Amino acid sequence: MKPISGQFLEYLRFSYESLSANKIRFLLTTLGILLGVTAIIVIFTAIQSINAYVEGEFSSIGSASLYLDKFPWVITGNYWEFRNRPEITVEDYKNMKDRVPTARWVSPQIEAMRTVTYRGKSLEDVYTIGTNDQYAFTDDAITDIGRFFTEMEVYRANPVCVIGQNVMDELFEKENPIGKRIKINGHPHRVVGVLEKKGSFFGFNIDNQVIIPYTTFQGISFHRRGISIAFRADNPRDIDNMREEIRGEMRRLRKIPPAEPDNFSINQQDMLTEFYNKITGTSYLVVFIIAAISLVVGGIGIMNIMLVSVTERTKEIGIRKAIGATRRNILLQFLSESVTISSIGGIIGIILGVLIAQFLLSYIKLDASVSLTTIFIGYFFSAIVGIISGMYPAYRAARLNPIDALRYE
Amino acid sequence: MSDSHVIQISKLHKIYILGKTKVHALRGIDLEVKKGEYISIMGPSGSGKSTLMNIIGCLDVSTSGTYHLNGQDVSGMTDDELAKIRNKEIGFVFQTFNLLPRASALHNVELPLIYNGTGSSKRKELAKQALEKVGLADRMNHKPNELSGGQRQRVAIARALVNNPSMILADEPTGNLDTTTGEEIMVIFDRLNEMGNTIVLVTHEDFIARHSNRIIRLKDGLIEKEEIPEPAEENK
């Protein structure tokens, strides 16, 4: 067998001559593949861009920590069963904090949306967290200016606070906030630190927050609510042991008989990621089905046109065979023609898809991350469709008898 | 078997099966053509002329008998083997020219070289030379529909020549041309023969056949007679 590469350009030239003679037909035939590939590129790019965004968001939650909560973060099943569970309380925190050997840091967490004021300026709906000094480690709260509050300040219920960047920007402008007193729901708290900028989590501005000792939180809260307890191991590999320790201790504390299920949840960032992946996994499948259908339809279009083309060009095939074209030559000629059609459809589809994806994503203020993989997948599918749909027509052309073909008018 | 023979055919039979009827198109042809010969095959329609031409041209194979083309037995060859033989050994010239309509004259002439894998620049060079031989060097980039009938046939002759084949097989080459143009084409064949090319003409016109050195007359699938034509001075 002769290498194809040497004659590759010739086949392209044959395709060009043939396709340029039937431009309208060629464009219409291309349309099916074009739209299929456009759909693949738009949806793949959209999913990937959103994924990239979401992954970035999830990394803003402590990934090595476990959170003991009343509810699981992702609720599957009957909500009411979870609702009837007892709350996690500050008492639970006090009991648990020294009973989980693998947990190096433990922080109770209680939260509420509160109004924060400073010298007449006021900021509503500030995410207010009551916790202890170890929150700095369980939730990676790093201070940019000043410091986090101390164990002693928590113990003494000192009215101190650490504020987010947004709170600083809104209330202090150019003033140094350290040492100043802000009022949280009217209760004065002295600023000891400012957190580094964290950005946002699904549109929720994380920097719009205030962290205070949980011991003073009771004063600003009208009603008692359940809390959440964060545990963090020194070594992330101990996370599974830690989960078992927490579970065992909680069951013992609540005196749950062995046959009964847990009446609390131990949450982890992975759960959100897994849940999210499950959703996107489904959407990938939907995309795949839509794209597959449009590519099949496009492929049938190409096959149809190639069959017409083979019939119309019977004489040409006869001429080529008479002067020495082998079956393989004819087969490759028609295959490269169908691949050219589908590839051009694919390439235009890729360009169109990228443009549309960028346009759509700019609406939700996301950067389109068009990966090479996506482009490759788009092109790969269009080429495959070209080969598959060209196979039968090309085979028919290749086996034509030269005498009959030459006689064809 | 002698090397000086281009065609050696013996006891050639061809039977077509059309539904339930058998058509015995060739009933035992013996034919030898030497290198450099210029022969005509003549005969009324139904004489087996086209069948013989197809077999000589390696477009078809016989039912029985042997055919050696340039010393190679082509009787039992496969489709693809025959394609390669056609490419290498035979230059076709058809009544209806059979050029690719969308390709330029040059590209049409290049075609046989494309199929034998000649490199691009060598190919263009050879194709240009072939077009020069038929006097069409100035029409290389014209498409067939921009050329006259005579010019188209000259492109076809250039295409037949370009691979330097063992024989040129011309099927009614002047059938679609007026007498004057037809005569111009025949002059080209005469000149090619003088240059040493073996030519097999298939025609039903005596004044065309008279250009050749030997006329084979077919009738009912057999060679009826062979004759040496009188040089036709008035046509030369």
Question: How confident is the model over B79-129, as pLDDT tens digits?
Answer: 999 999 999 999 999 999 999 988 899 999 999 999 988 888 999 999 999
Of B98, B107, B159, the CB nearest to A406: B98
Q: Which two tokens stand for residue B169?
A: 């097989």
- pLDDT at res. A153: 94
Summarize the confidence of residues A330-340 as an average pLDDT: 92
Of B54, B116, B119, the CB nearest to A324: B116
Q: Which two tokens stand for residue A81?
A: 């069963």
Residue B165: what residue type? P
* CATH number, residue B129: 3.40.50.300
Summarize the confidence of residues B182-197 as an average pLDDT: 94
pLDDT at A11 over 50: yes
pLDDT at A4 over 50: no
Give the whole-angstrom CA distance, residue B110 versus residue B112: 6
Q: Answer yes or no: do A323 and B59 touch at CB < 8 A.
A: no
DSSP letter string over B164-229? --SEEEEESTTTTS-HHHHHHHHHHHHHHHHTT-EEEEE-S-HHHHTTSSEEEEEETTEEEEEEPP
Asked whether residue B3 is domain-assigned, the answer is no
Asked whether residue B13 is domain-assigned, the answer is no
User: Domain limits at B186?
Assistant: 36-64+82-235
From edge to edge, which strands make up the β-sheet containing B38-42? B90-93, B167-171, B198-202, B38-42, B214-219, B222-227
Q: For A235, what's the count of Cα atoms within 13 Å in the CB-facing half-sphere?
A: 6
pTM score, whole prediction: 0.70
Q: Answer yes or no: do A324 and B102 touch at CB < 8 A.
A: no
- pLDDT at res. A15: 84
ipTM value for the complex: 0.93
Domain ranges within chain A, ordered by starting residue: 5-57+273-407, 86-263
3-state secondary structure of B82: helix
Of B60, B86, B103, the CB nearest to A323: B86
Q: How many domains does chain B have?
A: 1
Summarize the confidence of residues B164-180 as an average pLDDT: 93
> How does residue A191 score in pLDDT terms, banded at 50, 70 and 90?
very high
pLDDT at A3 over 50: no
Q: Answer yes or no: do B83 and A327 touch at CB < 8 A.
A: yes
pLDDT at B64 over 60: yes
Summarize the confidence of residues A98-109 as an average pLDDT: 92
Least confident range from A49-53, A257-261, B193-197: namely: A49-53
Asked whether residue B16 is domain-assigned, the answer is no
pLDDT at B234 over 70: no
pLDDT at A279 over 80: no
Summarize the confidence of residues A144-160 as an average pLDDT: 93
Asked whether residue B110 is domain-assigned, the answer is yes
- pLDDT at res. B1: 46
Least confident range from A261-270, A357-366, A379-388: namely: A357-366
